[in-house]
A and B are shown apart, each in its own frame.
Chain A
Amino acid sequence: MDMLLQINGAPVQVEVEPGVMLLEVLRDQLGLLGARGTCGVGLCGACTVLLDGDPISSCILLAPLAQGHAITTVEGVPDDDPVVEAFDRHHAFQCGYCIPGMVLTAKSFLAECAQARRCPSREQIAESLGGNLCRCGCYVKIIDAVQEVGS
């Protein structure tokens, strides 16, 4: 089927089988490799993208259901984004495989905090990132980075 997706602010026309997940469209058809499939069941967060600003697991979202929503991948986040810069400044990564998903989840959470005009605690940040797994275990520095932006 033909599909029109809105990705990183631009309309994108793709032809897919109806049963295909959004992750496969992003990676295999569009070459957007920042979202990564690792658990296959929507638990690890490495495939996170934003759908109208909310983090979702693109490995378990049927691509046709993403039509009509604004999709943001890490490639759509600018280099001078405050969260990206904070991750860099705090060295909040090792292998980096989970980091695009981590950055997108953090951006969404921080946008919520900003809207509610509150500075998140470390516990709240940890809670918000609980669905993004990092096996290198960079959580301490990731929370440092998110907390700095959130304050």
Chain B
Amino acid sequence: MTDPRIRASVRYPNDLTVPGMWHARLVRSPHPAARVTGVDTSLLPPGVVVLTPSDVEPLGRYGCQISDQYVLAGVARHVGDPVAAVAAADEATAREAANLLEVGYEKLPAVFDERDALCAGAPPVHDTHAVSDSDAAYFGLRPLEGTNVCHRFRIRTAGLPQGAPCTADPEPDDHAEGFDAAEVIVDETFRTPAVQHVAMEPHACIASWRDGRLEVTTGTQTPFNLRQDLARLFGLPETDVRIVCPPMGGSFGAKTFVRTEAIAAAVAQRLDRPVRLALDRDEEFVTLTRHAATVRVRLGATRGGRFVAKRVWCWVNTGAYADCGPGVAMKMGYAGVGPYRFDHVAVDSFCIYTNLPPAGAFRGYGAAQSVWASERVTDLMAAELGVDPVELRRQNLLVDGDVFCTGETMHDVHFEELLDAAAHAVDWQPGGDNRGKGVAVMLKGMQTPSRAEIGLRRVDDSHFEVLSGTTEMGQGSARAIAQLAADLLGVDADQVEVPPPDTDRVPYDTRTTSSRSTHMMGRALESAVEDLKNSGSDYGHGQIANEGGLDVDTGQGVASSHWHQGAAAAAVEVDDETGTLTLRSVHAASYAGRIVNRAAAELQQEGAMIMAIGTTLFEELTFDQGQVVGPNLSDYNIPSALDCAAVTQSILEVEGAEVHGLGETALPPVPPAIGNALASLGYRPTELPLTPERVLDCAEDA
């Protein structure tokens, strides 16, 4: 029997229908900032139901970290913000009705650039920033009322001054910030644009109400966060909300927290019948994006190449709603320090509202943006010192027992081996001629703190069922969990069933993010197997928690209970007349600890690299007065089979080590490896993607 995905016997959320369901469509704001002044339904055909902002305003606001979003926007804050929903018995009528609805607007001032939004006089995107009481607001949030900053995160190693102004153009204070011993300082500002996940399956859900309970079938990585947020919106106990999660046709962070589910639930409540809400491709581009960010890095070293101090500023464009942007800003902040030893580190990361579509989780989660900046600066320092970039990194990389800028002592770290593997793959010549080649190293945290529970049920003498909240988006977690359970139970993997999560059946799990699931669920399984053996019943329960977290004012604490570690190297050619950059070889080396399923691990590596190549060379969301330019797959290109020829990867295993997730590790180091390879040919790239125009613009002799 071949895998059911190949011949389409898997049913994704977008495939599902239920008897009697109606179809909802959304009416979206054409303005980046506008107050809805009226909704005229007079042109609508009969039999259509309309929900307006005033209908849903009593439900209040939601948001996983800041409560800043109404189910439908009475004040639209980005082009594409849903201001009304229409529903009809068939989809064609619903589409027609959405086109015929007349919405009146009063335009308001808007701001789009993350640094413009910090300036005095910038229009406030939100009047207040109320911290959410959701489980996902798990760290101290620091909204700056009266500004567009919904969170600021700081790192200050011991002895550095705590405060810093919230500004778009900071003045470094080298003496105060620990640069006194630095003999060479490099300082550069970088930018990464917004990009979109482009999961092949767009968002789709079905909501229905049954005896006062809300049931939602949807593609989501966060079933328990979604359950909690919907319960609070609709005034229900969490146990009266059921989230069913069929496998998704890709997600990459796009299907997280509340997306379209609250609107579908509100329409279903009004109609008292099931409602399907599925998005078109163009709607995906205004539903969630990856944060555009400006990152400035100032690095000080001795003439001998020892890193002394680092100063990082991140300006993180979270768009109209915070979503999990505060968490992204925090992780961008410490990933931008990189896996190196320093005497002193100071980081300020600002999560900033603008009138662009909301940005949220995206494979690489903040690291992609700051590793681009940080690892480009490492090469700028190597050039300044006239030393080999691999050697400069090796001299400063963290090894077991070193202390990271957060104060945590590193263990089970393998940055040098990964760097060597990557450099070797592009035939790096130590101290020799490496023109056209570049390397990069990175660390990325795993969700900390978090908790995973798992149930293990004996179905009969030879069959088991694993009840896990880990959702499947193609990453292969269900298969990995079945394999881990089978290994612990001493049976074959095909004797273990892992059904799609249903919050009425599976125990609590924080969420399927940050490449944590194989690691956390694997550990929870160990205690579930133990419990099954000891309990004498047919059910075992397992639980694991990783403790930690950072103080958001000093960045001290435990950022990650273990670290995703990766390196990449690239060899490129550039046509200096046209600016066309050609990849000859791109290699990523990642630390797996122990591999559970080799094919799945390789697929994650290659997939992350290919996604990274897209965002390095051509993927970029551009906006005209807040409107996405070309929200379609003709204008917004993603990599095809023609973009993978240069890709190779390797995975470092250590006998007896714990399992490390591999969903994201190979993504963040690829853009700077390519950028550094380009830089070695006489260019100074600071802004992604490296389109031919940008390449020509950043030629050193231009």
Contact = CB atoms under 8 A, between A and B. Distances in A.
A148 to B, nearest CB: 15
Interface in A80-109: 84-85, 87-88, 91, 93-100, 103
Interface stretch (B350-358, B605-613, B675-683): B605-613
B281 interface: yes
Interface stretch (B257-265, B420-428, B473-481, B510-518): B473-481
Interface string B645-662: 101000000000000000
A41 B633 contact: yes
User: Which among A44, A46, A103, A142 has the highest number of chain B CB atoms within 10 Å?
Assistant: A44
Interface string B1-27: 111011110111011000000000000
Interface of B: 1-3, 5-8, 10-12, 14-15, 197-202, 247-250, 252, 280-281, 473-476, 599-600, 602-603, 606-611, 632-634, 638-645, 647
Contacts of B647: 140
Contacts of A40: 280-281, 632
- By secondary structure, the A interface counts as loop
Nearest to B3: A88
Given A36-B14, A39-B281, A138-B607, A88 B250 contact: no
A138 to B, nearest CB: 6
A126 B645 CA distance: 9
User: Which among B7, B603, B609, B644 has the highest number of chain A CB atoms within 10 Å?
Assistant: B7
Contact of A88 (B6, B248, B476, B602): B6
B5 A95 contact: yes
User: Which among A91, A122, A129 has the highest number of chain B CB atoms within 10 Å?
Assistant: A91
B640 A96 contact: no
Given A96-B474, A97-B200, A137-B607, A143 B14 contact: no
B5 A93 contact: yes
A142 to B, nearest CB: 7
Contacts of B611: 135, 137
Contact of B200 (A44, A75, A142): A44
Contact of A136 (B281, B599, B603, B645): B603
A100 B6 contact: yes
Contacts of B6: 74, 84, 87-88, 93, 96, 99-100, 103
Interface string A119-151: 000110111011111111111111100000000
Contacts of A135: 197-200, 250, 252, 611, 638
Contacts of A34: 7-8
Interface of A: 33-34, 36, 38-41, 43-44, 46, 74-75, 77, 79, 84-85, 87-88, 91, 93-100, 103, 122-123, 125-127, 129-143
A98 B643 CA distance: 17
Given A46-B200, A100-B8, A133-B638, A139 B610 contact: yes
Contact of A138 (B15, B197, B603, B634): B603
13 contacts: A33-B11, A75-B7, A75-B8, A87-B2, A93-B3, A93-B6, A94-B607, A95-B201, A103-B6, A130-B642, A134-B641, A137-B607, A137-B609
A91 B603 contact: yes
